[in-house]
């Protein structure tokens, strides 16, 4: 029995060695386990050029737990958050703030448009009560790349804190704290870093976190308290996901061996090119122009051919060993295929071949959407 190749935005296909790293039981107070955590906490800020300025605070749970914990820990009760929204993950940050009862507003764009730093500039000039701005680096809903550098410049010029959800980009797309000043960045173990799911983390400016005691709405999601715990005895406050952490340490070794962010990003960019070229040759069309598309996950328009039924297409591909992802868009009927995880030219090539065979079997002549046929 082969596991499917996961062409999804996470969880992702991991290497055999990452999976093998989970075949051990660690005591949470073992010195080797404590050293492993310290090494992970030291390595993650280095990937963002933030080792001097920021601390890494890991938290149990999926990526959303880290986003919620960061918002709850950094916003004082009188703070006001402005979320830049062009997809589901921006919307989720707004909802998180609402559930917590913090003041929050949003600027919104269509899912196939990047967020606009000029509109942010205007809003911040108008509203001095906004203390924090939140943006998603790669909005996984469509796969669009947002202009985080320009957003960071605007936020910094107005003296507001910037929170970046870099969940689906961290480790593959460069983001350096010296060029993109941020107060906090949130990511997780299982996307571009290719670990197992179960741990999120935030990189938070040390000088800001130091003064964040008592802000949090929640005990388990209080990153100030979590950080103090690590600083005091190098341990997690509550049961750590030991197997996930061991796999993550291995995944970070493999990330470094591949050439770090540049090496990982280059493999994903090659996956992306091969995927899009192969799909376009079958008639499929991408939602986004290439200039806006991150090499993380690609949204394709639904084909117009009446023989194409997505649920059937999905099941047949899954039978052939490939899991793709339904669309999450409101702007167009679509589906998504991921380029990330421990996959390369061989897996993308095999996926394209499986798609070709599946279209034949279904009697679909072309993957072209209605718009492309009309044009």
Q: Which is nearer to ligand PLP, 243 or 356 (CB)?
A: 243
Q: Which is nearer to ligand PLP, 10 or 114 (CB)?
A: 10
Counting residues that bind ligand PLP (by CB under 6 A) gives: 12
Q: Name residues contacting ligand PLP, limited to 77-96 (CB under 6 A).
A: 89
Coil/strand/helix, residue 178 = coil
223/356 Cα distance (integer angstroms): 48
Report in angstroms how near the CB of residue 20 gets to ligand PLP at its nearest: 23
From residue 2 to residue 31, the character string flagging contacts with ligand PLP as x (rule: CB under 6 A) and all else as - is: -------xx---------------------
Coil/strand/helix, residue 156 = helix
Contact 11, 168 (CB under 8 A): no
From residue 48 to residue 77, the character string flagging contacts with ligand PLP as x (rule: CB under 6 A) and all else as - is: --------------xxx-------------
Report in angstroms how near the CB of residue 96 gets to ligand PLP at its nearest: 10
Look-up: residue for tokens 């649920």? 311
144/115 Cα distance (integer angstroms): 10
Q: Name residues contacting ligand PLP, limited to 151-180 (CB under 6 A).
A: 165, 167-168
Q: Which is nearer to ligand PLP, 140 or 274 (CB)?
A: 140
Q: What are phi and psi of 73, to 5 degrees?
A: -80, -35
Q: Which is nearer to ligand PLP, 10 or 265 (CB)?
A: 10
Report in angstroms how near the CB of residue 200 gets to ligand PLP at its nearest: 7
From residue 328 to residue 357, the character string flagging contacts with ligand PLP as x (rule: CB under 6 A) and all else as - is: ------------------------------
Q: Which is nearer to ligand PLP, 64 or 235 (CB)?
A: 64
Q: Which is nearer to ligand PLP, 187 or 354 (CB)?
A: 187
Report in angstroms how near the CB of residue 188 gets to ligand PLP at its nearest: 5
Coil/strand/helix, residue 43 = helix
Q: Which is nearer to ligand PLP, 142 or 226 (CB)?
A: 142
Which residue's Cβ lies closest to ligand PLP? Answer: 63
Q: Name residues contacting ligand PLP, limited to 123-152 (CB under 6 A).
A: 136, 140
CB-hemisphere CA count at 13 Å for 55? 17
Nearest to 366 by CA among 317, 320, 301: 301
Contact 86, 143 (CB under 8 A): no
Q: Which is nearer to ligand PLP, 153 or 165 (CB)?
A: 165
Report in angstroms how near the CB of residue 334 gets to ligand PLP at its nearest: 16
Report in angstroms how near the CB of residue 246 gets to ligand PLP at its nearest: 19
CB proximity list for 7: less than 8 A, separation 6 or greater:
322, 323, 324, 325, 337, 338, 339, 341, 343, 351
User: Where are the extended beta strands (E) located within the chain?
Assistant: 5-6, 54-60, 80-85, 103-108, 132-136, 138-139, 144-145, 161-165, 184-188, 199-205, 297-301, 322-323, 325-326, 334-338
Report in angstroms how near the CB of residue 297 gets to ligand PLP at its nearest: 8
176/166 Cα distance (integer angstroms): 12
Nearest to 58 by CA among 286, 291, 239: 239
Report in angstroms how near the CB of residue 345 gets to ligand PLP at its nearest: 24
Q: Which is nearer to ligand PLP, 34 or 71 (CB)?
A: 71
- Residue count of the chain, please give it: 375
List the structure tokens of 334.
């679509």
Report in angstroms how near the CB of residue 191 gets to ligand PLP at its nearest: 6
Centroid of chain to Cα 327: 16
Q: Name residues contacting ligand PLP, limited to 176-215 (CB under 6 A).
A: 188
Q: Name residues contacting ligand PLP, limited to 240-299 (CB under 6 A).
A: none
Which positions touch ligand PLP (CB under 6 A)? Answer: 9-10, 62-64, 89, 136, 140, 165, 167-168, 188
């Amino acid at each position: 029995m082969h596991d499917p190749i996961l062409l999804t935005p996470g969880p992702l296909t991991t290497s055999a060695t990452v999976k093998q790293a989970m075949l051990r039981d660690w005591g949470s107070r073992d010195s080797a386990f404590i050293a492993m955590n310290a090494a992970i906490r030291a390595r993650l800020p280095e990937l963002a050029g933030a080792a001097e300025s920021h601390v890494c605070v890991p938290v149990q749970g999926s990526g959303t737990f880290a986003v919620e914990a960061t918002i709850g820990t950094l916003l004082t009760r009188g703070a006001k958050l402005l979320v830049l929204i062009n997809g589901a993950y921006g919307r989720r940050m707004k909802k998180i703030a609402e559930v917590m009862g913090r003041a929050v507003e949003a600027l919104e764009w269509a899912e196939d448009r990047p967020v606009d730093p000029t509109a942010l500039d205007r809003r911040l000039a108008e509203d001095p009560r906004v203390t924090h701005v939140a943006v998603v680096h790669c909005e996984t809903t469509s796969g669009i790349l947002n202009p985080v550098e320009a957003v960071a410049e605007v936020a910094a010029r107005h003296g507001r804190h910037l929170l970046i959800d870099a969940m689906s980009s961290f480790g593959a797309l460069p983001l350096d704290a010296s060029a993109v000043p941020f107060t906090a960045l949130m990511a997780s173990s299982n996307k571009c870093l290719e670990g197992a799911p179960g741990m999120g983390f935030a990189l938070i400016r040390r000088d800001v976190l130091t003064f964040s005691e008592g802000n949090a709405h929640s005990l388990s999601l209080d990153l100030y308290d979590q950080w103090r715990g690590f600083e005091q005895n190098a341990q997690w406050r509550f049961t750590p996901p030991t197997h996930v952490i061991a796999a993550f340490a291995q995944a970070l070794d493999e990330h470094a061996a591949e050439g770090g962010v540049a090496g990982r990003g280059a493999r994903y960019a090659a996956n992306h090119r091969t995927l899009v070229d192969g799909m376009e040759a079958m008639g499929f069309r991408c939602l986004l122009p290439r200039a806006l598309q991150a090499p993380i996950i690609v949204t394709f328009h639904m084909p117009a051919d009446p023989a194409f039924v997505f649920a059937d297409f999905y099941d047949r591909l899954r039978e052939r060993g490939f899991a793709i992802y339904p669309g999450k868009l409101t702007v167009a009927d679509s589906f998504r295929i991921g380029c990330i995880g421990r996959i390369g030219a061989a897996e993308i090539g095999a996926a394209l071949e499986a798609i070709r065979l599946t279209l034949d079997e279904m009697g679909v002549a072309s993957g072209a959407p209605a718009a492309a046929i009309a044009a």
